[in-house]
Structure 1
Amino acid sequence: MHRQNGRSRTGVRTALVLAVVAVLAAGGWAVRARPRPAMFAPRLSGPDRLVTNEFAHWNPQTPGTRLSRDWDVSSGSLFVHRGVAWSGVPDASAPDAGSTRGTGSSVFRMTTRRRDFENVAVSLRLRNLGLTTAGRAAASEIDGVHVFLRWQSPEKLYVVSLNRRDGLMVVKKKLPGGNANGGTYYTLGQARYAVPYGRWQVFRVRIGTSGGGLVTITVTRDGREVLSATDDGTEGAAILNPGAVGLRGDNCDFEFTGFRVTRT
């Protein structure tokens, strides 16, 4: 009898536990899965300093050059300032080894040294401090901050414009052949987005390939989807190979932090 009662009580307890779990799940209280570990999460904090710049890209063997194991800055300068990453005040200078005479960051181009990012999400916090009209290039509606995805070369990549002077968020593909620095841009999607200058924005930009070679790029801000676009190969073949990720700035003074790449 004691054994039977024990089994009965065990069965009741099991049923109660299962019922509670079902109720919690229905109410949104189910235990969430742990976030995926980052593939890439560089440290861009600590004391104020120059991390690297375009001088290092073009003169890697020169004494005093600031090389980064994580980043290749082909144009402009990357600093840490007040605990976050910073473009520096954008100007039209050609930086020296220490970017002491200017930043050159009115044309800012930065990619990861790693080239193995395929189906990933790039997350970051971004603060746009303002635009200039006195950079290396004339002021343009595209001025602002952009994310590179599946970067193969300056002529072949996806680019997502998070902040633009004209108040648009845009997803584009660039393929070789054309007048835009050796390539041609194809717009895949766009949406209105008013840039909150001086305020932090939290973005997650996801890229993934589905059946049939369709490439979909989705942008969320503060957890809310703002834009989604799909490359079906109509305007030239979709970019399916893994590549680098990175950031671009045009006539823009900006800060960022929390840059992470995770698999999706």
Structure 2
Amino acid sequence: MRTRLIVAGALAGAVPVAWGVWALTRPDGRAPVPGRLVTNEYAHWNPDADDARRSPTWDVTSGSLFARDGVLWTGPPDTRTPNATSSNGTGSSVFRMHTHRTDHLDARVTVDVRNVRLLPDDARDTDGVHVMLRHQDETELYVASLNRRDELLVIKKKLTGGPSNDGRYFTLAQVGHAYAFGEWQRFEVRITGTSPVVITVGQGGRELLRAEDDGRRHDRAITRPGAVGVRGDRCEFEFKLRIR
């Protein structure tokens, strides 16, 4: 599989300046940098709409995805339902996007992430940035949480049937990992195998967290290929993503 480079970004202080365009306020007071809408949840939920903005790479099921100077951005998070151009809001307080491709079985995902801020309202320990692996749908996937409000790295599995948006989560491994807002961090998230499924999170050539799922302790393993995605909860962040 060829390497695919995806980038997404955010800066605090963003304000809308035109239809489907948001501005990133520079800390030095210079003119705002506009962000162009790439796609949003409106395009997902309105597949026949002529006015929808669509991406050949990403399917955004919740929130909005913008670009500026070759960098992608979730926009300033809010709880609104975005229209075709996200001119009325981003909806990115709950941000979900994944690849249109669903043939990722063994995958190595290099993530450069910069957490700008966490929203103070309705705060939860699990708020932050997460990478989704072998994503079948919103009820069946693996998740590697990289920047959580409670400063934990966590690997989880979600299976259909339960109280969490029609699914149930199983924590496979976790470890404490502090981070600083506004600083870039690089993670390597890998998933391999089917018996067992092995998921690792590394940084700087060092393995930080490892989980093995053989389907015996935490219900069945997810052994089918799926999409790779990024999730954000009450978080503003920017990132770069390479999938191999």
Band the TM-score falls in, shorter-chain normalisation: 0.7 to 0.9
Higher strand share: 2
Alignment of 1:1-264 (within 5 A): 37-38=2-3, 40-42=4-6, 48-134=35-121, 138-209=122-193, 213-233=195-215, 234-257=217-240, 259-262=241-244
Q: Is the 2:7–2:71 contact (alpha carbons within 8 Å) kept by the matching residues of 1?
A: no
Q: How far apart are residue 130 of structure 1 and its match? A: 0.7
**Structure 1 residues 108 and 185, CA, compared in 2 at 3 Å: closer, same or farther?**
same
* Letter of the 2:159 counterpart: L
Q: What is the CA–CA distance in structure 2 between the aligned matches of 1:223 and 1:84, rounded to whole Å?
A: 26
Q: How far apart are residue 82 of structure 1 and its match? A: 4.4
Q: Is the 1:122–1:206 contact (alpha carbons within 8 Å) kept by the matching residues of 2?
A: yes
Q: TM-score if structure 2 supplies the norm length? A: 0.85
Q: Is the 1:188–1:230 contact (alpha carbons within 8 Å) kept by the matching residues of 2?
A: yes
Match of 1:13 in 2: none
Q: What is the CA–CA distance in structure 2 between the aligned matches of 1:204 and 1:236, rounded to whole Å?
A: 26
Question: Cα RMSD (Å) of the superposition?
Answer: 1.7
Structure 1 residue ranges without an equivalent (≥5): 1-35
Structure 2 residue ranges without an equivalent (≥5): 10-33
Q: What is the CA–CA distance in structure 1 between the aligned matches of 2:74 and 2:168, rounded to whole Å?
A: 26
SS in 1 for 2:218: coil
- The superposition leaves residues 1-26 of structure 1 with CA deviations (integer Å, 9 ceiling, x where unpaired) of xxxxxxxxxxxxxxxxxxxxxxxxxx
Q: Is the 2:113–2:237 contact (alpha carbons within 8 Å) kept by the matching residues of 1?
A: yes
Q: What is the CA–CA distance in structure 2 between the aligned matches of 1:41 and 1:224, rounded to whole Å?
A: 23
* Letter of the 1:119 counterpart: D
**Structure 1 residues 199 and 82, CA, compared in 2 at 3 Å: closer, same or farther?**
farther
SS in 2 for 1:188: strand
Q: Is the 1:60–1:67 contact (alpha carbons within 8 Å) kept by the matching residues of 2?
A: no
Q: Is the 2:76–2:92 contact (alpha carbons within 8 Å) kept by the matching residues of 1?
A: yes
Q: How far apart are residue 224 of structure 1 and its match? A: 2.2
Give the number of the structure whose alpha-carbon radius of gyration is greater.
1
Paired residues, number: 219
Higher helix share: 1
* Letter of the 2:225 counterpart: P
- The superposition leaves residues 20-39 of structure 1 with CA deviations (integer Å, 9 ceiling, x where unpaired) of xxxxxxxxxxxxxxxx841x
- The superposition leaves residues 187-225 of structure 1 with CA deviations (integer Å, 9 ceiling, x where unpaired) of 000010112210111111000116xx1011111123322
Q: What is the CA–CA distance in structure 2 between the aligned matches of 1:170 and 1:160, rounded to whole Å?
A: 6
Q: How far apart are residue 101 of structure 1 and its match? A: 1.0
Q: Is the 1:164–1:195 contact (alpha carbons within 8 Å) kept by the matching residues of 2?
A: no
* Letter of the 2:209 counterpart: L
